[in-house]
Amino acid sequence: MTIARRKILIAGGGIGGLAAALCLAKAGHRVDVFERTASLQPIGAGIQISPNAFHILSALGLSDELLELGTAPEAIIMMNAMTGKQLSRLPLGFDIQDTYDAPYIVIHRADLQNILFEACDQHPDISISFGAEIIDAAIHENGATAMIQSGSQPSEHLCDILIGADGIHSRVRHDILELPKAVYSGKIAWRALVPANDVKMPNAMNNTFGWLGPKAHVVTYPVRNGEFLNLVAVTQEADQSKAKDISKAKLQESFSHWCDDFQSLLELEADWSGWPLYETRDIRVMAHRSVALIGDAAHSMLPFAAQGAAQAIEDAHVLTQCLSTIDDKENALKAFEAKRLPRVQRVVRTARRNGQIYHLSGIPAMVRNLGLSKISGKNLLAKQDWIYSWKP
């Protein structure tokens, strides 16, 4: 069956929106992306791209750029933040390449976004408008009519499909589909980049480290082709407004009881920023009539499974697959929702549970640490198989 070329509007030019635009255009559809910021914003820090997402990006012809700007860590190493002792080691590198026929890479968010943007910018069937936001839409039999605010003059745009890829505080999700908002999780991620030359901790620049302590944890890994070490410190905070009030001295105080090896990282000069962490608690809808949601707009998740970007990329691929093989638009979106909901619901639950486990204290933390020390690297990797083995 030959599916008619569709006109698709995407709200949001982040990783999910750009990945969807590229997937859809390569499948023969016409795509217009509307991004509310005036230009690409180099915000955020590092993200992790596991094999399930790398396969999709590779099929889009982006593997060379990813490997050039990203880094493939040798392992994920979990540490006891109080004693500085290694708890477990999940092998990556050649092990994960051999198992899944794809690498596990870490990369700066802005680098991945730029890779996707350049590929979209070169495609004749993709247009990207900055400083433009989809603020409302009327859903009808022919698709949707979106109201787009650009400057002082709103304008109407007709499309077959409207995709909300506009992030945690998605207007498509909240205002158009009237779905519940993502909620603050009670955790703040403090992020910084440190020049690699300043890092003295052995093996920090060729591995991902997870430091587990009471009511907090820290993840580090290299980005920008090994030029910087990405640090993400997660603490429990009842008041999300604390994210605006950050200093190195306050962080050092918060982690003053942690081991000396970790303390050496906090002593390095860096600009820290605080990011409240949100999650969608009840994920039941990813599509309605001619509107689909992907990425954080559909299922904002805590970063404790390292799958936020990967699941947005999976969404983009599966949505394209359904829109390109099922003639009826609504049935295509229903199929997309049916395929994606069980998986993203499980990933969200896993991320939430991991966050609880990472922040244990007292006897429960001792039990956790003992359990981690008894698991082999092979078995640790096997526990991730349901995530990493997914293929487009």
| CA gap 120, 43 in Å, rounded | 20
| CA gap 307, 1 in Å, rounded | 34
Please name the residues in contact with 219: beta carbons below 8 A apart, sequence gap of 6 or more.
208, 209, 210, 211, 231, 232, 234
| CA gap 72, 50 in Å, rounded | 10
> For 73-123, how does the pLDDT look when each residue is reduced to its tens digit (9 = 90+)?
999 999 999 999 999 999 998 889 999 999 999 999 999 999 999 999 999
Could you identify the residue written with the tokens 């991730």? 384
CB atoms within 10 A of CB 362: 8
Beta bridge partners of 162: 9, 291
User: Do 11 and 171 form a contact (C-beta atoms < 8 A)?
Assistant: yes
Q: How far is CA 45 from CA 173, 202, 252, 267, 384, in A?
A: 25, 22, 20, 19, 24
> For 214-249, how does the pLDDT look when each residue is reduced to its tens digit (9 = 90+)?
999 999 999 988 899 999 999 999 889 888 877 777
Instruction: Report CA torsion sign: 359, 360, 365, 371.
Output: negative
Helix (H) or strand (E) holding 193: strand 183-195
Minimal CA–CA distance to 161: which of 14, 360, 284, 336?
336
Please name the residues in contact with 17: beta carbons below 8 A apart, sequence gap of 6 or more.
10, 11, 33, 35, 163, 165, 166, 294, 295
User: Do 10 and 126 form a contact (C-beta atoms < 8 A)?
Assistant: no
Q: Where are the domains of the chain?
A: 7-48+108-182+280-352, 69-105+183-278+356-388
167 band by pLDDT with thresholds 50, 70 and 90: very high
Mean pLDDT rounded to a whole number for the chain? 93
> For 286-337, how does the pLDDT look when each residue is reduced to its tens digit (9 = 90+)?
999 999 999 999 999 999 999 999 999 999 999 999 999 999 999 999 999 9
> For 37-53, how does the pLDDT look when each residue is reduced to its tens digit (9 = 90+)?
988 776 667 899 999 99
| CA gap 31, 9 in Å, rounded | 6
Minimal CA–CA distance to 10: which of 157, 199, 219?
157
Minimal CA–CA distance to 257: which of 373, 76, 84?
84
| CA gap 298, 296 in Å, rounded | 5
> In CATH, what is the architecture of 7-48+108-182+280-352?
3-Layer(bba) Sandwich (3.50)
> For 356-370, how does the pLDDT look when each residue is reduced to its tens digit (9 = 90+)?
999 999 999 999 999
CATH 3.30.9.30 holds for 69-105+183-278+356-388: yes
Which pTM value belongs to this model? 0.95
